Structure 1
Amino acid sequence: MMRWAMAMLSICALVTGIHTHIPSGDPECFLLDAQKFKEGISLNYDVISGIGEELETTLLSPSGIRLYHQVGPKGRFVTPVPEDGVFQACFAHQSSVPLVVGFSFHADDPAHDVLSNADATKIGTVSLFKFFLTLYTLEHARAVEDMVFV
């Protein structure tokens, strides 16, 4: 049982590396430099913990034009790059409950469907849960066998 708990803690520490903590109040912004006509911009995000219904997400062009704005726990936006420069993705909320958001914000070929960090985090979390549930079940089954066949 102790090995199971230690493995769970070790793997959870690895999974949390792709999460971002969003403080209440001021927006948390991330920048991306992209070139017009050569790339597309992709923003994928999903609230991992906290009250996601209050998450406000905005994507601004280098000239300050709002390309995307949505309130809610998850979203996806893909577009060709409208102009050269630094694009800005901002996450904000007013709730007193801290938020953790998994996201990816990158320039790529807009024709390709990209798995976001948020998607990968959810897949990883579900896979880990199933893995540890299987380990726990096997450990429990072995303990029962030991009791029965001793």
Structure 2
Amino acid sequence: AEPAGSAAAAIGGDGPGVTDMIRGEATFGEIIARDKVSRAHIVPRGRGEAETAALLASLRFVTMIDALARTYDHVIIDAGAFDVIAADQMAELAPGGVLVVPDPTDPIAGVARARLAEAGYGDGLIVLAGAPLVAPTPHPEAA
């Protein structure tokens, strides 16, 4: 379980988020929340389904991303799985990207990286394995 008030807990919630704002059912102030265990602010996906391409093309979404980019040093968008058209749209909104895959040597990961590079990410794209992060174990001789 995630710590209460953590970013991970907020993202998994069933409250309003981006999809609700796009449909005009929530304001930006209603969907953004400060993470209680870090300095991050979280905007969850929201309730209901939204086609990724339509979401990225929404004027409200573009305006929100622009406002966030002017306010914060870094804006992280967890886009999940999306198609080539959405990759083109995302490249217009975000100058860099991180592709997270379970196995970077998997041929599907290579195809995804190539499609994102074609969309405009090129050098701004980093491929990470989706393994959980583990704190390093101190060496006994260092004690």
TM-score normalised by the chain length of structure 2: 0.22
User: Which structure would you say has the larger Rg?
Assistant: 1
User: Structure 1-normalised TM-score?
Assistant: 0.21
Which protein has the bigger helix share?
A: 2
Q: Which has the higher strand share?
A: 1
- Bigger relative contact order, structure 1 or 2 (CA pairs below 8 A, ≥6 apart): 1
